[in-house]
């Protein structure tokens, strides 16, 4: 099966969907309809070979595909459903693509892991475009586990990049950052320049979301340079669109306009209407900033029409919000209609399902880090203290901390940056091998807590850790991140651990600090304090001493303070 990831990756800006002339689309749907209705195995095999002969005739496949007599029908079915789904995805019919992928997952009994992974990856891409984040999470998890099992760095980097893209769309750029970092690290083991351009494009999106506009521009320019080197005009159009985003963020409006004027015809000629629509939204933003509201409204209208047809709520939202602003003075009633549509889209995209999907992505990442090369050891004594629970859960996040720390220090020095990631990853494997059983047994043996309580604590600790990493630690913000009220948070913590939210946040801070001091000796105590949410070293030292009864420097046996 042709590898999906070289054609479709769910970055916020996609690679090139294949353009279908009407006759070809009609012929492929005729094959699909006939194949679904046929229940005779031998007849299905003949239909499949006719179908793939046609795909080869129109140069859709890289090489001829055929199935000899006696081929297992599972393999035949999966390939047929996959290629029809891929065709529909390429023409923007994401719902049809998702339905066909779901059909393919029902006949995987005798199918190789590569083909399975391709189907799940395409299903994840389709569901992402439909803003069905929970199903996208399930599909991408399956794809990642299959790629990891095969030890395929190239495919692993693609799946990790796809997950990062979901986080960007879901408004979680800091979460996206760690997946993108690991994706780039995996890609460094390969010579796949086309993939590297995609990864740099995602890194650009993430940094732009974080407000690191110079960094975003650096990655976008790097992605464009690679595409120009490879000579694919359609992909050049995509990278120009990403570059324009960073130029706008840097207030380089004329440069952004020039990039979009080059990108739009390239994308239109290639049939990549999705990226063309994104460029229309961007051009609308430029025109609106210049008070050219009629022209801006035209761009937004074209984009909104396209994205509504494709079912892409995320980019339609951008267009509807733009229309509500552009038409506010000249057509207030119409502007209100677009605003109401935007509000509905906002609610549909960022509902509870998104939070559940985010938690699932975190579980994919943390479990993978914890399970690397872990050896069994004797069961430890039952640990009841809440502090140990917190410490064990925080430990699971340390792999992410190392990657994030490395990423901030070495962004502009790619060679050193990748080496640093590799070194830190080795350290994480050693740490995780030592403590994995403690993490698992602490949660398993704490019988006073239900499975739901343990899951709640796990998610809460991640939310607290993210908050203090950002220098906040605000109880209301943490409760909002958990989609609960502060009163509910206070009640649940009191019932489970007999602590207040303030006490719990402090415990997370202190155990995180202790672990960083013990395991990351290249971080100074001042840096540890900063990562635990303390702007003043003296405040951190005092709090640490009050909590543990000894100084931070005592952990390392030094006088550093």
CATH architecture of 371-556: Orthogonal Bundle (1.10)
Q: What b/e readout covers 212-228, taking b as 16+ CB neighbours within 10 angstroms?
A: bbebbbbbbbbbbebbe
Give the separation between CA 514 and CA 278, rounded to whole angstroms: 46
Please report the pLDDT score of residue 321 as a whole number: 92
Give the separation between CA 163 and CA 365, rounded to whole angstroms: 10
Please report the pLDDT score of residue 397 as a whole number: 45
Please report the pLDDT score of residue 127 as a whole number: 86
User: pTM for this one?
Assistant: 0.46
Give the separation between CA 118 and CA 89, rounded to whole angstroms: 13
Instruction: Write the CA distances from 525 to 466, 514, 535, 559, integer angstroms.
Output: 20, 10, 12, 10
Host H or E run for residue 538: helix 537-548
Which positions of the chain have pLDDT values less than 70?
A: 1-22, 169-170, 349-447, 469-472, 557-561
Instruction: Name the DSSP class of 292.
Output: -
Please report the pLDDT score of residue 294 as a whole number: 93
Going from N- to C-terminal start, the domains of the chain cover 1-150, 371-556
Please report the pLDDT score of residue 458 as a whole number: 75
Please report the pLDDT score of residue 13 as a whole number: 30
Please report the pLDDT score of residue 402 as a whole number: 37
Please report the pLDDT score of residue 170 as a whole number: 67
Please report the pLDDT score of residue 11 as a whole number: 36
The fold adopted by the segment(s) 1-150 is: 1.25.40
* Residue pair 547/506 in contact by the 8 Å Cβ criterion: yes
Find where tokens 């049939």 sit: 271
């Amino acid at each position: 099966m042709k590898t999906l990831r070289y054609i479709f990756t769910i970055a916020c800006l996609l690679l090139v969907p294949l353009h279908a002339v009407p006759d070809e689309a009609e012929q492929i749907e005729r094959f699909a309809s006939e194949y679904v209705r046929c229940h005779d195995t031998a007849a299905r095999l003949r239909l499949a070979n006719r179908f793939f002969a046609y795909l080869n005739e129109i140069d859709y496949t890289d090489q001829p595909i055929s199935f000899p007599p006696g081929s297992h029908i599972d393999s035949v079915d999966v390939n047929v459903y996959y290629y029809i789904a891929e065709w529909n995805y390429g023409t923007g019919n994401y719902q049809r693509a998702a339905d066909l992928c779901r059909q393919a997952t029902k006949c995987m009994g005798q199918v190789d892991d590569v083909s399975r992974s391709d189907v799940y990856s395409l299903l994840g891409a389709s569901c992402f475009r439909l803003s069905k984040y929970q199903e996208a999470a399930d599909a991408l998890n399956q794809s990642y586990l299959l790629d990891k099992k095969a030890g395929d760095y190239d495919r692993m980097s693609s799946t990790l990049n796809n997950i990062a893209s979901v986080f960007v769309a879901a408004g979680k750029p800091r979460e996206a950052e760690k997946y993108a970092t690991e994706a780039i690290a995996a890609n460094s083991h390969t010579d796949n320049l086309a993939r590297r351009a995609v990864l740099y494009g995602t890194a650009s999106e993430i940094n732009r979301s974080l407000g690191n506009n110079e960094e975003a521009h650096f990655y976008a320019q790097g992605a464009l340079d690679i595409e120009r080197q490879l000579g694919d005009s359609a992909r050049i159009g995509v990278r120009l669109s990403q570059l324009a985003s960073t130029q706008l963020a840097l207030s380089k409006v004329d440069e952004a306009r020039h990039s979009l004027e080059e990108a739009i015809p390239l994308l239109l000629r290639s049939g990549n209407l999705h990226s063309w629509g994104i460029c229309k939204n961007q051009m609308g933003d430029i025109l609106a900033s210049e008070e050219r509201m009629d022209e801006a409204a035209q761009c937004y209208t074209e984009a909104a029409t396209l994205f509504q047809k494709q079912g892409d709520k995320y980019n339609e939202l951008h267009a509807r919000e733009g229309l509500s602003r552009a038409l506010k003075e000249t057509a207030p009633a119409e502007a209100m209609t677009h605003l109401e549509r935007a509000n509905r889209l906002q609610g549909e995209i960022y509902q509870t399902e998104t939070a559940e999907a985010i938690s699932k992505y975190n579980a994919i990442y943390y479990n993978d880090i914890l399970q690397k090369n872990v050896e069994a050891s004797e069961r430890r004594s039952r640990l009841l203290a809440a502090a140990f629970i917190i410490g064990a859960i925080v430990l699971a996040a340390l792999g992410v901390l190392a990657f994030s720390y490395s990423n901030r220090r070495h962004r502009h020095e790619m060679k050193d940056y990748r080496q640093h990631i590799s070194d830190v990853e080795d350290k994480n494997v050693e740490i995780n091998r030592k403590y994995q059983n403690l993490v698992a047994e602490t949660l398993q043996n704490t019988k006073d807590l239900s499975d739901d309580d343990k899951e709640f604590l796990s998610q809460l600790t991640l939310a607290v850790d993210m908050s203090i990493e950002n220098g906040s630690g605000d109880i209301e913000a943490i409760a909002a991140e958990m989609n609960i009220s502060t009163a509910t948070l206070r009640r649940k913590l009191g019932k489970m651990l007999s602590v207040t939210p303030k006490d719990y946040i402090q415990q997370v801070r202190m155990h995180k600090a202790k672990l960083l001091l013990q395991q990351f000796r290249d971080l100074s105590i001042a840096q540890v304090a900063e990562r635990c949410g303390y702007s003043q070293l003296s405040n951190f030292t005092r709090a640490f001493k009050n909590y543990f009864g000894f100084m931070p420097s005592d952990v390392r046996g030094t006088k550093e303070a």
